[in-house]
Amino acid sequence: MSKKVKDKKSHAFSMQDKHDIGFAKKKKRHIIKNTFLAITILFFSFLIFIFSYIMGLSERKKFDPNTIKNMQQSIVLYDMDESEIGSLYASKNRRYITLDEIPSDVINAFIATEDVRFYTHNGVDIVRIFGALIEDVKSLSFRQGASTISQQLIKNAYLTGEKTISRKLQEAIMAVKLENYYTKEEILEMYINYIYYGGGAYGVEAASKRYFGKEAKYLTLPESALLVGVVKAPSIYAPHINESKSIKRRNLILSLMLNEGFITRTEYSNAIDSKLALSANDSLDFAFGYFTDLALTETAEILNLDIEEVLGGGYKIYTTLDSSLQSYTQAIYSDDSYFPANSSDNTICQSAMIVLDSQTSAIRTCIGGREYTSKLCLNRATGMLRQPGSTIKPIMVYAPAVEKRGYLPSSFVLDEIENFDGYIPKNCNCQVKFPSLWQIRFPSNCA
Protein backbone atom coordinates (compact mmCIF):
# COMPACT_ATOMS: atom_id res chain seq x y z
CA MET A 1 0.00 0.00 0.00
CA SER A 2 2.76 2.40 0.96
CA LYS A 3 4.55 1.75 -2.29
CA LYS A 4 1.48 2.59 -4.35
CA VAL A 5 0.93 5.81 -2.42
CA LYS A 6 4.56 6.74 -2.90
CA ASP A 7 4.30 6.15 -6.64
CA LYS A 8 1.25 8.36 -6.82
CA LYS A 9 3.06 11.14 -4.97
CA SER A 10 6.06 10.83 -7.24
CA HIS A 11 3.77 11.07 -10.22
CA ALA A 12 2.14 14.17 -8.73
CA PHE A 13 5.50 15.84 -8.16
CA SER A 14 6.48 15.04 -11.72
CA MET A 15 3.37 16.78 -13.13
CA GLN A 16 4.03 19.84 -11.00
CA ASP A 17 7.62 20.01 -12.20
CA LYS A 18 6.47 19.91 -15.80
CA HIS A 19 3.98 22.71 -15.13
CA ASP A 20 6.72 24.84 -13.52
CA ILE A 21 9.04 24.23 -16.45
CA GLY A 22 6.32 25.21 -18.96
CA PHE A 23 5.51 28.36 -17.01
CA ALA A 24 9.20 29.27 -16.88
CA LYS A 25 9.48 28.88 -20.64
CA LYS A 26 6.42 31.09 -21.24
CA LYS A 27 7.80 33.71 -18.87
CA LYS A 28 11.14 33.60 -20.66
CA ARG A 29 9.46 34.07 -24.06
CA HIS A 30 7.43 36.96 -22.63
CA ILE A 31 10.61 38.62 -21.31
CA ILE A 32 12.34 38.18 -24.66
CA LYS A 33 9.31 39.60 -26.50
CA ASN A 34 9.14 42.65 -24.21
CA THR A 35 12.89 43.17 -24.46
CA PHE A 36 12.69 43.08 -28.25
CA LEU A 37 9.76 45.50 -28.15
CA ALA A 38 11.66 47.87 -25.86
CA ILE A 39 14.75 47.75 -28.09
CA THR A 40 12.60 48.43 -31.14
CA ILE A 41 10.96 51.42 -29.44
CA LEU A 42 14.35 52.78 -28.38
CA PHE A 43 15.63 52.33 -31.93
CA PHE A 44 12.69 54.20 -33.39
CA SER A 45 13.07 56.88 -30.73
CA PHE A 46 16.73 57.28 -31.67
CA LEU A 47 15.79 57.60 -35.36
CA ILE A 48 13.17 60.19 -34.49
CA PHE A 49 15.73 62.15 -32.50
CA ILE A 50 18.25 62.09 -35.35
CA PHE A 51 15.68 63.06 -37.99
CA SER A 52 14.31 65.79 -35.72
CA TYR A 53 17.76 67.25 -35.24
CA ILE A 54 18.60 67.16 -38.98
CA MET A 55 15.24 68.37 -40.29
CA GLY A 56 14.16 70.53 -37.40
CA LEU A 57 16.40 73.49 -38.05
CA SER A 58 15.27 74.07 -41.64
CA GLU A 59 11.58 73.39 -40.90
CA ARG A 60 11.63 75.70 -37.91
CA LYS A 61 13.10 78.52 -39.99
CA LYS A 62 10.63 78.10 -42.88
CA PHE A 63 7.46 77.89 -40.78
CA ASP A 64 5.76 81.21 -39.97
CA PRO A 65 2.92 80.66 -37.43
CA ASN A 66 1.52 84.10 -38.16
CA THR A 67 0.31 82.99 -41.61
CA ILE A 68 -2.07 80.42 -40.16
CA LYS A 69 -4.59 83.10 -39.26
CA ASN A 70 -4.88 84.12 -42.90
CA MET A 71 -7.46 81.39 -43.51
CA GLN A 72 -10.07 81.83 -46.19
CA GLN A 73 -13.43 82.98 -44.83
CA SER A 74 -16.89 83.42 -46.30
CA ILE A 75 -18.41 86.87 -46.65
CA VAL A 76 -21.78 87.61 -45.04
CA LEU A 77 -24.35 89.98 -46.56
CA TYR A 78 -27.13 91.89 -44.80
CA ASP A 79 -30.21 93.69 -46.11
CA MET A 80 -31.46 97.22 -45.36
CA ASP A 81 -32.69 96.09 -41.92
CA GLU A 82 -29.30 94.50 -41.14
CA SER A 83 -30.83 91.02 -41.28
CA GLU A 84 -28.52 88.35 -42.68
CA ILE A 85 -29.48 87.25 -46.18
CA GLY A 86 -26.72 84.68 -46.72
CA SER A 87 -23.04 84.17 -47.36
CA LEU A 88 -20.74 83.76 -50.33
CA TYR A 89 -17.38 82.06 -50.55
CA ALA A 90 -14.65 81.22 -53.06
CA SER A 91 -13.69 77.59 -52.49
CA LYS A 92 -14.30 77.18 -48.74
CA ASN A 93 -17.45 78.03 -46.84
CA ARG A 94 -16.02 79.25 -43.53
CA ARG A 95 -17.20 81.80 -40.98
CA TYR A 96 -14.65 82.62 -38.29
CA ILE A 97 -15.97 83.09 -34.76
CA THR A 98 -14.09 83.77 -31.53
CA LEU A 99 -13.63 81.22 -28.75
CA ASP A 100 -16.21 82.89 -26.49
CA GLU A 101 -18.80 82.36 -29.26
CA ILE A 102 -18.05 78.63 -29.40
CA PRO A 103 -20.12 76.52 -26.98
CA SER A 104 -18.18 74.88 -24.14
CA ASP A 105 -19.68 71.54 -25.21
CA VAL A 106 -17.90 71.82 -28.58
CA ILE A 107 -14.60 72.68 -26.90
CA ASN A 108 -14.88 69.90 -24.33
CA ALA A 109 -15.91 67.37 -26.96
CA PHE A 110 -12.81 68.13 -29.02
CA ILE A 111 -10.51 67.87 -26.01
CA ALA A 112 -12.08 64.61 -24.80
CA THR A 113 -11.88 63.11 -28.28
CA GLU A 114 -8.75 64.49 -29.87
CA ASP A 115 -6.37 65.65 -27.11
CA VAL A 116 -7.11 65.03 -23.41
CA ARG A 117 -3.74 66.50 -22.34
CA PHE A 118 -4.11 69.57 -24.55
CA TYR A 119 -3.53 72.05 -21.72
CA THR A 120 -0.44 70.29 -20.34
CA HIS A 121 1.75 69.37 -23.34
CA ASN A 122 3.89 71.73 -25.44
CA GLY A 123 2.40 70.74 -28.79
CA VAL A 124 3.53 67.11 -28.76
CA ASP A 125 2.04 64.51 -26.37
CA ILE A 126 4.98 62.21 -25.46
CA VAL A 127 2.77 59.82 -23.48
CA ARG A 128 0.43 59.37 -26.41
CA ILE A 129 3.30 59.04 -28.88
CA PHE A 130 4.85 56.09 -27.00
CA GLY A 131 1.46 54.44 -26.65
CA ALA A 132 0.83 54.83 -30.37
CA LEU A 133 4.35 53.69 -31.19
CA ILE A 134 3.83 50.43 -29.29
CA GLU A 135 0.60 49.79 -31.22
CA ASP A 136 2.29 50.62 -34.52
CA VAL A 137 5.17 48.24 -33.81
CA LYS A 138 2.72 45.48 -32.91
CA SER A 139 0.74 45.98 -36.12
CA LEU A 140 3.76 46.88 -38.27
CA SER A 141 1.84 49.91 -39.58
CA PHE A 142 1.16 53.59 -38.90
CA ARG A 143 -2.45 53.17 -37.78
CA GLN A 144 -2.01 55.23 -34.60
CA GLY A 145 -1.31 58.90 -35.32
CA ALA A 146 -1.03 60.34 -31.77
CA SER A 147 -1.50 63.86 -33.15
CA THR A 148 -2.39 66.65 -30.76
CA ILE A 149 -4.82 69.43 -31.65
CA SER A 150 -1.83 71.64 -32.46
CA GLN A 151 -0.41 68.99 -34.80
CA GLN A 152 -3.78 68.52 -36.50
CA LEU A 153 -4.02 72.25 -37.09
CA ILE A 154 -0.56 72.22 -38.67
CA LYS A 155 -1.46 69.21 -40.82
CA ASN A 156 -4.67 70.82 -42.12
CA ALA A 157 -3.09 74.22 -42.70
CA TYR A 158 0.31 73.29 -44.15
CA LEU A 159 0.93 69.57 -44.65
CA THR A 160 -0.62 66.51 -46.29
CA GLY A 161 -2.51 63.73 -44.55
CA GLU A 162 0.00 60.97 -45.33
CA LYS A 163 1.28 58.97 -42.35
CA THR A 164 5.03 58.89 -42.80
CA ILE A 165 7.85 59.46 -40.32
CA SER A 166 9.08 62.45 -42.30
CA ARG A 167 5.70 64.17 -42.33
CA LYS A 168 5.03 63.40 -38.66
CA LEU A 169 8.40 64.90 -37.72
CA GLN A 170 7.64 68.09 -39.61
CA GLU A 171 4.22 68.21 -37.94
CA ALA A 172 5.69 67.80 -34.45
CA ILE A 173 8.42 70.41 -34.94
CA MET A 174 5.99 72.97 -36.34
CA ALA A 175 3.45 72.23 -33.58
CA VAL A 176 6.00 73.07 -30.88
CA LYS A 177 6.83 76.34 -32.60
CA LEU A 178 3.11 77.07 -32.96
CA GLU A 179 2.61 76.64 -29.20
CA ASN A 180 5.52 78.97 -28.50
CA TYR A 181 3.86 81.60 -30.69
CA TYR A 182 0.18 81.33 -29.66
CA THR A 183 -1.69 80.65 -26.42
CA LYS A 184 -3.67 77.44 -25.96
CA GLU A 185 -6.92 79.36 -26.37
CA GLU A 186 -5.79 80.92 -29.66
CA ILE A 187 -4.75 77.52 -31.03
CA LEU A 188 -8.05 75.96 -30.01
CA GLU A 189 -9.98 78.82 -31.62
CA MET A 190 -8.06 78.50 -34.91
CA TYR A 191 -8.42 74.71 -34.95
CA ILE A 192 -12.20 74.70 -34.44
CA ASN A 193 -12.59 77.37 -37.13
CA TYR A 194 -10.21 75.76 -39.61
CA ILE A 195 -11.09 72.08 -39.93
CA TYR A 196 -13.57 70.54 -42.37
CA TYR A 197 -16.96 69.30 -41.14
CA GLY A 198 -18.35 67.94 -44.41
CA GLY A 199 -21.15 69.31 -46.57
CA GLY A 200 -18.86 72.04 -47.90
CA ALA A 201 -18.57 73.60 -44.42
CA TYR A 202 -15.25 74.66 -42.86
CA GLY A 203 -15.30 75.72 -39.23
CA VAL A 204 -17.99 75.09 -36.63
CA GLU A 205 -20.07 78.18 -37.50
CA ALA A 206 -20.51 77.20 -41.15
CA ALA A 207 -21.14 73.58 -40.08
CA SER A 208 -23.81 74.64 -37.59
CA LYS A 209 -25.53 76.68 -40.30
CA ARG A 210 -25.18 73.82 -42.78
CA TYR A 211 -26.61 71.04 -40.65
CA PHE A 212 -28.83 72.77 -38.09
CA GLY A 213 -29.65 76.15 -39.64
CA LYS A 214 -28.47 78.20 -36.66
CA GLU A 215 -25.43 79.93 -35.21
CA ALA A 216 -22.92 77.78 -33.36
CA LYS A 217 -23.56 79.51 -30.03
CA TYR A 218 -27.04 77.93 -29.99
CA LEU A 219 -25.84 74.33 -30.46
CA THR A 220 -27.09 71.76 -27.94
CA LEU A 221 -24.90 69.08 -26.33
CA PRO A 222 -25.88 66.28 -28.76
CA GLU A 223 -25.51 68.63 -31.75
CA SER A 224 -22.06 69.69 -30.54
CA ALA A 225 -20.96 66.08 -30.12
CA LEU A 226 -22.26 65.19 -33.57
CA LEU A 227 -20.29 67.95 -35.28
CA VAL A 228 -17.12 66.97 -33.44
CA GLY A 229 -17.69 63.37 -34.48
CA VAL A 230 -17.97 64.31 -38.15
CA VAL A 231 -14.43 65.73 -38.22
CA LYS A 232 -12.75 62.30 -38.04
CA ALA A 233 -14.08 61.33 -41.51
CA PRO A 234 -16.73 63.65 -43.01
CA SER A 235 -17.33 61.31 -45.96
CA ILE A 236 -18.37 58.60 -43.48
CA TYR A 237 -19.86 60.38 -40.47
CA ALA A 238 -21.55 63.46 -41.99
CA PRO A 239 -25.26 63.19 -41.04
CA HIS A 240 -26.53 63.92 -44.55
CA ILE A 241 -24.46 61.01 -45.89
CA ASN A 242 -25.01 58.32 -43.23
CA GLU A 243 -27.31 59.24 -40.36
CA SER A 244 -26.90 55.99 -38.40
CA LYS A 245 -23.07 56.13 -38.43
CA SER A 246 -23.20 59.81 -37.53
CA ILE A 247 -25.36 59.10 -34.46
CA LYS A 248 -23.19 56.14 -33.44
CA ARG A 249 -20.11 58.34 -33.64
CA ARG A 250 -21.91 61.10 -31.70
CA ASN A 251 -22.71 58.67 -28.88
CA LEU A 252 -19.05 57.62 -28.73
CA ILE A 253 -18.04 61.28 -28.34
CA LEU A 254 -20.60 61.68 -25.56
CA SER A 255 -19.20 58.63 -23.73
CA LEU A 256 -15.69 60.11 -23.92
CA MET A 257 -17.00 63.40 -22.52
CA LEU A 258 -18.63 61.46 -19.68
CA ASN A 259 -15.40 59.57 -18.92
CA GLU A 260 -13.45 62.83 -18.75
CA GLY A 261 -16.01 64.42 -16.43
CA PHE A 262 -17.21 67.07 -18.89
CA ILE A 263 -20.85 65.97 -18.61
CA THR A 264 -22.95 64.18 -15.99
CA ARG A 265 -24.56 60.76 -16.33
CA THR A 266 -27.98 62.44 -16.68
CA GLU A 267 -26.73 64.77 -19.44
CA TYR A 268 -25.19 61.78 -21.20
CA SER A 269 -28.41 59.73 -21.03
CA ASN A 270 -30.56 62.62 -22.28
CA ALA A 271 -28.14 63.38 -25.12
CA ILE A 272 -27.92 59.84 -26.51
CA ASP A 273 -31.72 59.57 -26.40
CA SER A 274 -32.18 62.79 -28.40
CA LYS A 275 -33.27 62.53 -32.01
CA LEU A 276 -31.31 64.02 -34.86
CA ALA A 277 -33.07 67.06 -36.36
CA LEU A 278 -31.24 68.41 -39.39
CA SER A 279 -32.10 71.70 -41.04
CA ALA A 280 -34.52 71.26 -43.93
CA ASN A 281 -32.75 74.03 -45.86
CA ASP A 282 -29.40 72.42 -46.62
CA SER A 283 -28.90 74.31 -49.87
CA LEU A 284 -25.89 76.59 -50.24
CA ASP A 285 -27.45 78.51 -53.13
CA PHE A 286 -27.97 82.20 -52.63
CA ALA A 287 -31.56 83.46 -52.37
CA PHE A 288 -31.08 86.86 -54.05
CA GLY A 289 -28.52 86.06 -56.70
CA TYR A 290 -28.68 89.09 -58.99
CA PHE A 291 -28.65 91.60 -56.14
CA THR A 292 -25.80 89.90 -54.28
CA ASP A 293 -23.75 89.71 -57.47
CA LEU A 294 -24.22 93.46 -57.80
CA ALA A 295 -23.17 94.02 -54.17
CA LEU A 296 -20.16 91.73 -54.57
CA THR A 297 -18.96 93.49 -57.73
CA GLU A 298 -19.32 96.93 -56.17
CA THR A 299 -17.46 95.77 -53.03
CA ALA A 300 -14.57 94.53 -55.17
CA GLU A 301 -14.41 97.89 -56.94
CA ILE A 302 -14.49 99.87 -53.68
CA LEU A 303 -11.78 97.74 -52.05
CA ASN A 304 -9.78 97.49 -55.30
CA LEU A 305 -9.65 93.70 -54.99
CA ASP A 306 -10.37 90.74 -57.24
CA ILE A 307 -13.70 88.98 -56.79
CA GLU A 308 -11.93 85.88 -55.44
CA GLU A 309 -10.13 87.96 -52.82
CA VAL A 310 -13.41 89.45 -51.65
CA LEU A 311 -15.12 86.04 -51.57
CA GLY A 312 -12.46 84.63 -49.24
CA GLY A 313 -11.90 87.75 -47.17
CA GLY A 314 -14.50 87.25 -44.44
CA TYR A 315 -16.10 90.66 -45.01
CA LYS A 316 -19.51 91.71 -43.69
CA ILE A 317 -21.35 93.63 -46.40
CA TYR A 318 -24.36 95.77 -45.46
CA THR A 319 -26.57 96.46 -48.47
CA THR A 320 -29.67 98.48 -49.33
CA LEU A 321 -31.71 95.42 -50.28
CA ASP A 322 -35.41 95.27 -49.41
CA SER A 323 -35.72 91.51 -48.87
CA SER A 324 -39.52 91.46 -48.98
CA LEU A 325 -39.71 93.42 -52.21
CA GLN A 326 -36.92 91.35 -53.79
CA SER A 327 -38.73 88.12 -52.91
CA TYR A 328 -41.97 89.47 -54.32
CA THR A 329 -40.49 90.57 -57.63
CA GLN A 330 -38.62 87.27 -57.99
CA ALA A 331 -41.93 85.46 -57.53
CA ILE A 332 -43.43 87.53 -60.35
CA TYR A 333 -40.52 86.74 -62.65
CA SER A 334 -40.91 83.03 -61.99
CA ASP A 335 -44.57 83.14 -63.13
CA ASP A 336 -44.64 82.36 -66.87
CA SER A 337 -48.14 83.77 -67.27
CA TYR A 338 -46.72 87.30 -67.18
CA PHE A 339 -44.54 86.69 -70.25
CA PRO A 340 -45.08 85.75 -73.90
CA ALA A 341 -44.53 82.18 -75.03
CA ASN A 342 -41.04 81.10 -76.07
CA SER A 343 -39.88 81.83 -79.61
CA SER A 344 -39.70 79.19 -82.34
CA ASP A 345 -36.17 78.23 -81.29
CA ASN A 346 -37.40 77.95 -77.66
CA THR A 347 -35.63 81.15 -76.52
CA ILE A 348 -37.52 82.68 -73.62
CA CYS A 349 -38.58 86.31 -73.46
CA GLN A 350 -36.27 88.08 -71.06
CA SER A 351 -36.77 91.04 -68.75
CA ALA A 352 -34.91 92.97 -66.07
CA MET A 353 -35.81 95.34 -63.26
CA ILE A 354 -34.20 97.70 -60.77
CA VAL A 355 -36.25 99.43 -58.08
CA LEU A 356 -34.76 102.56 -56.50
CA ASP A 357 -35.69 104.43 -53.36
CA SER A 358 -36.91 107.77 -54.72
CA GLN A 359 -35.55 109.67 -51.72
CA THR A 360 -32.09 108.14 -51.38
CA SER A 361 -31.57 106.49 -54.81
CA ALA A 362 -30.67 103.29 -52.92
CA ILE A 363 -31.20 100.10 -54.91
CA ARG A 364 -33.93 98.08 -53.20
CA THR A 365 -34.41 95.35 -55.79
CA CYS A 366 -32.45 94.02 -58.74
CA ILE A 367 -33.66 91.40 -61.20
CA GLY A 368 -31.25 90.61 -64.01
CA GLY A 369 -33.34 88.04 -65.85
CA ARG A 370 -36.08 85.45 -65.53
CA GLU A 371 -33.69 82.82 -64.17
CA TYR A 372 -30.51 82.98 -62.11
CA THR A 373 -28.21 80.26 -63.44
CA SER A 374 -24.90 80.77 -61.62
CA LYS A 375 -22.92 83.23 -59.54
CA LEU A 376 -21.89 86.35 -61.46
CA CYS A 377 -23.97 85.37 -64.50
CA LEU A 378 -25.27 87.96 -66.99
CA ASN A 379 -27.28 90.69 -65.26
CA ARG A 380 -29.48 92.30 -67.90
CA ALA A 381 -30.34 95.18 -65.57
CA THR A 382 -26.73 96.34 -65.34
CA GLY A 383 -24.71 94.52 -67.98
CA MET A 384 -26.68 94.90 -71.21
CA LEU A 385 -25.49 97.79 -73.45
CA ARG A 386 -28.84 98.31 -75.16
CA GLN A 387 -31.39 101.03 -75.77
CA PRO A 388 -32.85 101.92 -72.35
CA GLY A 389 -36.43 102.40 -73.51
CA SER A 390 -38.78 104.47 -71.37
CA THR A 391 -36.42 104.38 -68.40
CA ILE A 392 -34.50 107.23 -70.06
CA LYS A 393 -37.57 109.54 -70.15
CA PRO A 394 -37.01 111.15 -66.72
CA ILE A 395 -33.53 112.27 -67.84
CA MET A 396 -34.07 113.01 -71.54
CA VAL A 397 -37.71 114.18 -71.55
CA TYR A 398 -39.24 115.08 -68.20
CA ALA A 399 -36.30 116.90 -66.63
CA PRO A 400 -35.64 119.13 -69.70
CA ALA A 401 -39.38 119.85 -69.93
CA VAL A 402 -39.46 121.03 -66.33
CA GLU A 403 -36.17 122.92 -66.52
CA LYS A 404 -36.45 124.49 -69.99
CA ARG A 405 -40.17 124.73 -70.69
CA GLY A 406 -41.56 125.29 -67.19
CA TYR A 407 -43.71 122.18 -67.09
CA LEU A 408 -45.19 121.19 -63.73
CA PRO A 409 -46.61 117.84 -62.51
CA SER A 410 -50.06 119.39 -63.04
CA SER A 411 -49.37 120.46 -66.65
CA PHE A 412 -51.45 118.90 -69.42
CA VAL A 413 -49.99 117.67 -72.71
CA LEU A 414 -52.07 117.13 -75.81
CA ASP A 415 -52.17 113.40 -76.64
CA GLU A 416 -52.39 113.26 -80.42
CA ILE A 417 -50.33 112.13 -83.38
CA GLU A 418 -47.48 114.49 -84.26
CA ASN A 419 -45.31 114.63 -87.38
CA PHE A 420 -41.73 115.73 -86.78
CA ASP A 421 -40.31 116.31 -90.27
CA GLY A 422 -41.55 112.97 -91.45
CA TYR A 423 -41.02 111.10 -88.16
CA ILE A 424 -44.28 110.05 -86.53
CA PRO A 425 -43.75 108.44 -83.08
CA LYS A 426 -46.10 105.63 -82.16
CA ASN A 427 -46.58 103.20 -79.33
CA CYS A 428 -45.23 99.66 -79.61
CA ASN A 429 -47.99 97.12 -79.98
CA CYS A 430 -46.43 94.93 -77.26
CA GLN A 431 -48.17 91.78 -76.06
CA VAL A 432 -46.20 91.39 -72.83
CA LYS A 433 -48.56 90.68 -69.93
CA PHE A 434 -46.24 91.94 -67.22
CA PRO A 435 -48.42 93.78 -64.67
CA SER A 436 -48.17 97.53 -64.49
CA LEU A 437 -47.13 99.10 -61.21
CA TRP A 438 -50.68 99.80 -60.06
CA GLN A 439 -51.63 96.16 -60.72
CA ILE A 440 -48.88 94.76 -58.52
CA ARG A 441 -49.92 94.24 -54.90
CA PHE A 442 -46.79 94.94 -52.94
CA PRO A 443 -46.40 93.58 -49.42
CA SER A 444 -47.76 95.85 -46.69
CA ASN A 445 -44.26 96.88 -45.60
CA CYS A 446 -43.31 97.82 -49.18
CA ALA A 447 -45.93 100.51 -49.76
Q: What does the DSSP 8-state code read for residue 261?
A: T
How far apart, in whole angstroms, are the C-alpha atoms of residue 116 and residue 147? Answer: 11
Residue 102, CA distances (Å) to 35, 193, 216 in order? 47, 10, 6
User: Crossing angle for the helix pair 184-194 and 165-181, nearest 10 degrees?
Assistant: 130
| CB 307, CB 376: distance < 8 Å | yes
**List 337, 361, 390, 436, catalytic entry:** 390
How far apart, in whole angstroms, are the C-alpha atoms of residue 372 and residue 289? Answer: 7
How far apart, in whole angstroms, are the C-alpha atoms of residue 162 and residue 301? Answer: 41
H-helix or E-strand containing 104? helix 104-114
The verdict on whether 390 is a catalytic residue reads yes
The verdict on whether 410 is a catalytic residue reads no
The SS3 assignment for 117 reads coil
Closest by Cα among 57, 60, 344, 29 to 177: 60
How far apart, in whole angstroms, are the C-alpha atoms of residue 368 and residue 294? Answer: 10
| CB 321, CB 79: distance < 8 Å | yes
How far apart, in whole angstroms, are the C-alpha atoms of residue 284 and residue 206? Answer: 11
**List 87, 114, 208, 324, catalytic entry:** 114
For residue 140, is it left (φ>0), alpha (ψ between -120 and 50) or beta?
left
Give catalytic residue positions: 114, 390
